Each structure stands twice: as structure tokens, then as C-alpha cells.
Amino acid sequence: MQRITLAGGDLSRFESSGTPDERLLLAFPPDGTEKRSYTVRRWDADALEMDIDFAVHAGGTAALWAARARPGETLGFSTASGWYDPPSDAGWQLLLADMAALPAVSRILEEMPSSDRVHVIAEVTTPEDRQRLVTDAKLTATWLHGSGNGAGSSLLAEAARSWPLPSGPGYVWFAGEAKVSRVVRRWLRHDLGWPADRYDVLGYWRENKEEWVARYEAVREQIEAAADSALAASKDFDSVRDAVDAALDRAGL
Ligand SMILES: Cc1cc2nc3c(=O)[nH]c(=O)nc-3n(C[C@H](O)[C@H](O)[C@H](O)COP(=O)(O)OP(=O)(O)OC[C@H]3O[C@@H](n4cnc5c(N)ncnc54)[C@H](O)[C@@H]3O)c2cc1C
């Protein structure tokens, strides 16, 4: 993980959305045409400083930039918004994250009130990538090492399924690899039958992106047709996502 602290420039114009998993688009040198999503790990409105934590991996404009960045370089940034939104009656929370989502989880925990009860399952590359999680909340955590994160199959979805769910209403937040996000959403929505306001499940990145994009292009029309017909049937957002997930499954994507 490479932390970069941004300061100066147009940061005086940045307005935090106030949501702890808030994300913005960063535009990278040389010309800003390459843009990637990152989480605002820390925003100090007085000092006009922003921390971004980059999970460094092989390949990639953003990861390469972060690994080589030196003081004085510049990035473009967009407005920010986030998803984390536990219902007020949630008596417990489960946060599921790989390396790319660890910055969001760390900030969610730092801003959590002491009355909250939360379990984190975090999947990191090596034991050295574990981070100290700081929170006032009642926290328990499970760390998975050596799986996922582009280094092998992710065990996050399996670990979530085997975690004994506490009784009473809860909330689950997941962010990580896109295919894993589909498995987790299916578990929550279809196996557990939870309503959509009890979870937020986000695909942050895609394993073997280049190969996936090439294969997607070949079936793009089928996937878009599935989305269009779900939309035309005035289905809600999650039903449209079901239709797209099913079409991707059929295409082996
Ligand atoms: C809402 C949101 C918030 C995010 N916040 C963060 C954050 O705070 N920190 C962070 O590190 N990432 C974060 N991400 C993920 C980040 O946007 C992606 O990992 C992005 O693809 C990185 O761009 P890149 O240019 O490095 O690689 P790309 O050009 O997108 O991909 C190059 C190659 O690297 C692989 N790859 C991409 N990402 C990863 C990864 N994480 N692990 C292993 N292999 C990968 C691809 O499959 C591809 O083969 C966030 C994503 C979203 C949607």
C-alpha cells in the first residue's frame, strides 16, 4: 500500500460528501485522460490535505504512478460521493474488503460511533499488509492472507458466508473484485433474501481486466439488451443488476 498525500492546487475547492467511503476520480499525468476511482482516505479541510492509499499491483496507470510518484507532481480530481449507509436499526455491521477497499474500511471504522458493533473480514496480500484498525466501535476482525488481490482466488465471499451472522437486523458493506462482488450480492439478496437497504456491494476492480474487456466486447450487445429489457419492465435497480449478472454468467464473464 502506497500512501500519497495531496496538498495545494485546487484542493481549496474540494468539498467532502461526508460519506466515509467517498470516492473520487483521479486523472493521471501526462495529460489526464487516464482516470481511476480512489477513496479519500483522509481529508483535512483546515490543512487542505488529502491522503489516498494506493494498493500497488502489477500493471496499471494508477498503481505505477503511485509507486513512482515524487513530491511536486500533480493529479486531477473530481467531486466525491460514497455508498456506505447502514439503516438506523442495524444492530451489527459486517465490512468485507480486499486491499483496494481497505482505505474505505479504515475510514468507515475511524468515523464509527462507540455504540456500533462491527466485524471486518479483510483479505490482504501478505501478513505485513495487515493494518492497525482504529475505531471507537466494538470491533472484531478476521484477516485473510495470500488470497485474492490478483494473487489467487479470493476467499472473501466464502469467509463471509461462514461467519456466524448475529441475530437481529444488520448491515453488510463489501468492496473488492467485481466477480467476487457478484457472489456476495447473490448471497445477501437471493440466499438470505435481504432487502436492498441492508447492504451495499461494490465492484472496485476487475481481475485480468484486459482479457475481460476483450471478451465483453464480443457479447456487449447481449448484456446491454438484458439491461434494457429489465429497465423497460420498470424494474428496480437491483432487478436490473440481477439481469445483467445473469447475462454475464451466461456469457462466462
Ligand atoms: C469506488 C471505488 C473506490 C476505490 N478506492 C480505491 C482505493 O482507495 N485504493 C485502491 O488501491 N484502489 C481503489 N479502487 C480500485 C481502483 O480504482 C482499481 O484497482 C483500478 O483498476 C486501479 O487502476 P490501475 O490503473 O492501477 O490499473 P488498471 O489499468 O485498471 O488495471 C491494470 C491491471 O491491473 C489489474 N488490477 C487493477 N486493480 C487491481 C487491484 N486492486 N489488485 C490487483 N490487480 C489489479 C487489472 O486486472 C489489470 O490487469 C477503487 C475503486 C472504486 C470503484
pLDDT at 235 over 90: no
What is the architecture, at CATH level 2, of domain 92-205? Answer: 3-Layer(aba) Sandwich (3.40)
State the pLDDT at residue 103. 98
Q: Tell me the C-alpha distance between 52 and 30, whole Å.
A: 19
- What is the average per-residue pLDDT within 223-230? 94
β-bridge partners, 81: 23
Number of residues in the chain: 253
Using CA of residue 165, residue 166, residue 169, residue 173, what is the dihedral sign?
A: negative
Q: What is the DSSP string of 2-45?
A: EEEEEESGGGGG----S-TT-EEEEE-TTTS--EEEEE--EEET
CATH 2.40.30.10 placement within the chain? 2-77
What would the pLDDT profile of 168-189 be if each residue is shown by its tens digit? 999 999 999 999 999 999 999 9
Tell whether pTM > 0.85.
Answer: yes
What are the distances in angstroms from CA 178 to CA 34, 64, 145, 204, 211? 20, 21, 19, 6, 14
State the pLDDT at residue 91. 97
Lining residues, ligand 1, CB within 6 Å: 23, 36-39, 53-55, 57, 59-63, 100, 103, 149-150, 202, 204-210
State the pLDDT at residue 21. 98
Distance 145 CA to ligand 1 centre (A): 19
Give, in words, the CATH class of 2-77.
mainly beta
Atom 23 of ligand 1 has which residue's CA nearest to it?
62
Q: Tell me the C-alpha distance between 143 and 123, whole Å.
A: 6
β-bridge partners, 94: 119, 172
What would the pLDDT profile of 127-168 be if each residue is shown by its tens digit? 999 999 999 999 999 999 999 999 999 999 999 999 999 999
CATH 3.40.50.80 placement within the chain? 92-205
